[in-house]
Amino acid sequence: MPNPGAQAKRAEGRRYIPLDEADDSRFTDIKLNKKMRTWNKYKNYIFGGIAIIILVVIVAFSVRSCANDKKQEEESLYSKPSMGPLQVTQGADTQTQTQASTEVQTTQAATQAAGGVVSTTKTAAAEDFTSEASYSKSVFIGDTIVSGMEYYKYLGSDKIIADTNLTASKAADKVSQLASSNPEKVYIMLGLNDLNYNSKTVDSIAQDFASLITQIKQTVPAAKIYLVSVTPITKACESKSSIYITMSNVEALNAKLKEVAATSGATFTDINSAFQDSSGYLNSAVTGNGYNLKNEYYGFLLNTLAEMTK
């Protein structure tokens, strides 16, 4: 028979204790221990992931910074034309322009007879743009200087095929644009970018020009093509580490382009002497960065070209 006393004692030992009276510290310890085990299990992965993310961000920033620095260095030649006020000259300058125009026409007649080369004896000066009508049926293909013709609003976009990074070989992809305008005159002003890439010889660049002229003649057979001389750069520009152009290469390329013009039916239009200083470099007075022209000298450039190519 069960012992009532023993049962009562065991029942008293198993007395129900309400939750709000119970000591739950041991349950808390279990929960904390479980969290600690979970943290210890995954903390290395978490720290590793954070470290990888930080490393990726640092590397990406460094690569982007280096790329931007390299781009700025490599493309230092291709910035937009530096802004400058357009100077309008009147009175005495008009007489000077008339005399200079006569001089240019005389030079043109003499040099054209020599076989596909025209040149000028004028010296670059700030002057008003008076020859817009001369370009009513003309298109310019070129790089940074030609871009400035549109940028400074001397000529409309319908007369400009340009890109600050354009080369003779790249220009071949743009020749088809001439078909819609069917110009009577096409002016080519390229060469600085070709030389600055430092990856081609003067001979190979000249061949690119010859191919470009051939494509233009096929697209607009009746158009007269004027191959404008590669313009000079300043001595300071030549000395920059990011610039691979030398004046000796500019002169060598222009000599080759005269030959290209003579054999391809184009006219080599030599404007360099007008912009050179006494040492043969680009006159620092006409440029803000060593290769582009200041705004106020575009009038002279366009007026002179118009006179040379009448």
The count of domains in the chain is 2
Same domain (yes/no): 288, 178: yes
Same domain (yes/no): 67, 86: no
d(CA 119, CA 129): 20
Task: Identify whether 53 is part of a domain.
Answer: yes
Q: What are phi and psi of 36, to 5 degrees?
A: -65, -40
Same domain (yes/no): 151, 60: no
Task: Identify whether 15 is part of a domain.
Answer: no
Same domain (yes/no): 53, 123: no
What six digits make up the tokens of 131? 């020859």
Task: Identify whether 205 is part of a domain.
Answer: yes
Same domain (yes/no): 63, 194: no
Same domain (yes/no): 246, 108: yes
Structural contact between residues 216 and 175, judged by C-beta atoms closer than 8 angstroms: yes
Same domain (yes/no): 56, 81: no
Of the candidates 74, 109, 141, which is a domain's last residue? 74
d(CA 124, CA 302): 11
Q: Which of 225, 308, 218 is nearest to 263 (CA)?
A: 225
186 C-beta neighbours (distance < 10 Å), count: 24
pLDDT of residue 210: 98
Task: Identify whether 138 is part of a domain.
Answer: yes
Same domain (yes/no): 52, 186: no
Same domain (yes/no): 263, 138: yes
pLDDT in tens, the chain (310 residues): 555 555 554 545 455 444 444 445 554 555 555 556 665 666 677 777 787 888 777 766 665 655 554 444 444 454 444 433 322 333 333 343 444 444 444 344 434 433 499 999 999 999 999 999 999 999 999 999 999 999 999 999 999 999 999 999 999 999 999 999 999 999 999 999 999 998 899 999 999 999 999 999 999 999 999 999 999 999 999 999 999 999 999 999 999 999 999 999 999 999 999 999 999 999 999 999 999 999 999 999 999 999 999 9
Task: Identify whether 7 is part of a domain.
Answer: no
Structural contact between residues 261 and 209, judged by C-beta atoms closer than 8 angstroms: no
pLDDT of residue 145: 97
Task: Identify whether 300 is part of a domain.
Answer: yes
Same domain (yes/no): 162, 296: yes
Task: Identify whether 11 is part of a domain.
Answer: no
Of the candidates 45, 74, 103, which is a domain's last residue? 74
Task: Identify whether 254 is part of a domain.
Answer: yes
Residues 6 or more apart whose CB falls under 8 angstroms from that of 242 comprise 73, 74, 76, 77
Of the candidates 10, 44, 74, which is a domain's last residue? 74
Same domain (yes/no): 162, 57: no
pLDDT of residue 275: 98
Nearest 5°: CA angle at 151, between 252 and 208? 30
Query: Residue 31's domain spans which residues?
Result: 25-74
Structural contact between residues 81 and 301, judged by C-beta atoms closer than 8 angstroms: no
CATH of the domain at 178: 3.40.50.1110
Structural contact between residues 281 and 233, judged by C-beta atoms closer than 8 angstroms: yes
Same domain (yes/no): 66, 99: no
Structural contact between residues 227 and 267, judged by C-beta atoms closer than 8 angstroms: yes
